[in-house]
Chain A
């Protein structure tokens, strides 16, 4: 390594100092411990018992609820991530510039994401999608609903959770807003002079230039959606019901860990999830070569 490269590497390691410390002191230990636990039977009392690959085998071949949880979660990720991205991008573009009262609008659209994870959300969501909720109040008179509960029916319960996720698009929107503002105005002005319309400007200028933020949102939304827990836990009262239709993977994991006291099994579940998420994320990064453009090139 040249002297310059060496000093750059050294500087990098210094900048990464806190992160290294965090990795070693905080992250690696529990990560490794949970990996080890995944090969054990551990009911959180006494010592763990080594069982080798049994947890994994049981998960993959003998546990129908595992597959149900995987299905529910996969469906949730595949539907809600694109939806959230699309909706938040659309609103962000609308609230980027050109209208009056933008700060107020942005704040208002951001508010739902603040309550999304709180304990009141179950009650609020039932107010909307419950059998006596406002959704029915609007749809029943026009015949689009028979008055049943959207939250309580296995065919629609997951849909209400997806809606909840999309409803809390605020943070994704903020990131798009910030990214949109990094696009130099001159580019838009030049394009306007050239006679392009708004859609073309969006597609050819905005999108490519906010692609780093797009990658970020895609990756983080994917990672967090795979691990979605709080909303399902609160809205279904911890059951993942009705009939496991909202049995998110992490909810099932939590049931195994804290209700059945099977921490070893839950750890195996956790590592399988990590592998799945890592796979998805890696492919996102792999494709990013073709559609993400950084301004430093």
Chain B
């Protein structure tokens, strides 16, 4: 005669099953990660091998080990180090982040929470503005900025962000704001709070995930934005990371510096990864920690 398993056995089995699932999950994730990160691992390993070995040694493990690529890459040019380019990129990114946060959240609040005539038309216009490929807007935009005397400055790169031209982030914030329950504002409305008060004290703090995501993505987009920076920045002292990286490759027939390219690419990843690590906590904080309830 078999006895029915008692509670503790059942619980133990359940816990064991859960642990096995977790182990399996980790194994799968790590396996997937290895496959996904293979190119990145190859990038890092190539940055550590002698430049001339990079292309004829396809394996992952470097046979020669050198930090020379980092040194060469850093000392880019007489009088310039890659550090200068990092500073330029960071400066632009910082100004763009601020601009996007301010302008896009303002616009998003209007679309998400306010009623006004022509709302749908404006929303369509906003989204429509990113549907036209950038290459055909390049020259008209360039001529405008040229006539304003703003070529070879950072203004053409930064100013549009302060005017909410990044529809991506407006839409992102709209989706997050629309997901917030109305009760939160209704209480404030009854108290006679102004729209600004509701925006600033209620909606914005609750939209922290969207805000942090905006900051993170803005950083990455401007950090990697090659085309605009190529067109608008001409003098070497304003050069940014993506432009400088391309200068490592000489497709005109001269000698390239692939070691330097890889080394500086790896280095360029650093700030972004750091930014992500630091901010991802705020992206995933969700409702639980907002202290509303």
Let me know if B141 is at the binding interface, CB within 8 A.
yes
Contact of A253 among B116, B133, B172, B199 (CB under 8 A): B133
Contact of B115 among A8, A125, A137, A258 (CB under 8 A): A8
Contact call A220/B131, Cβ cutoff below 8 A: no
Given contacts A12-B110, A12-B114, A31-B132, contact A105 B164 (CB under 8 A): no
Instruction: Quote the shortest CB–CB distance from A104 to chain B (angstroms).
Output: 9
Let me know if B224 is at the binding interface, CB within 8 A.
yes
Contact call B224/A118, Cβ cutoff below 8 A: yes
Instruction: Quote the shortest CB–CB distance from B268 to chain A (angstroms).
Output: 8
Q: Summarize B's interface: helix, strand, loop or mixed.
A: helix
Stretch among B4-12, B63-71, B82-90, B279-287 lining the A interface: B279-287
Contact of A25 among B163, B168, B226, B276 (CB under 8 A): B163
Query: How does the 8 Å CB contact mask read for B150-185 relative to A, with 1 for contact and 0 for none?
Result: 000000000110111100101110011011111000
Let me know if B106 is at the binding interface, CB within 8 A.
yes
Let me know if B93 is at the binding interface, CB within 8 A.
no
Contact call B58/A137, Cβ cutoff below 8 A: yes
Kindly list chain A residues whose C-beta atoms are within 8 Å of the C-beta of B119: 12
Contact call B131/A223, Cβ cutoff below 8 A: yes
Query: How does the 8 Å CB contact mask read for B22-42 relative to A, with 1 for contact and 0 for none?
Result: 100110010001001111101
Contact of A270 among B132, B162, B196 (CB under 8 A): B132
Kindly list chain B residues whose C-beta atoms are within 8 Å of the C-beta of A114: 220, 224, 269, 272-273
Given contacts A27-B129, A175-B172, A185-B288, contact A266 B39 (CB under 8 A): no
Let me know if B130 is at the binding interface, CB within 8 A.
yes
Contact call A112/B129, Cβ cutoff below 8 A: no
* A185 to B284 Cα, complex, angstroms: 13
Number of interface residues of B (CB under 8 A): 92
Contact call A120/B133, Cβ cutoff below 8 A: no
* A174 to B272 Cα, complex, angstroms: 14
Stretch among A63-71, A75-83, A126-134, A149-157 lining the B interface: A126-134
In the complex formed, the residue of B with least CB distance to A116 is: B224
Let me know if B253 is at the binding interface, CB within 8 A.
no
Let me know if A181 is at the binding interface, CB within 8 A.
yes
Contact call A296/B181, Cβ cutoff below 8 A: yes
Contact call A120/B140, Cβ cutoff below 8 A: no
Contact call A124/B210, Cβ cutoff below 8 A: no
Let me know if A30 is at the binding interface, CB within 8 A.
yes
Contact call A124/B171, Cβ cutoff below 8 A: no
Query: How does the 8 Å CB contact mask read for A234-261 relative to B, with 1 for contact and 0 for none?
Result: 0000000000000000100110011000
Let me know if A273 is at the binding interface, CB within 8 A.
yes
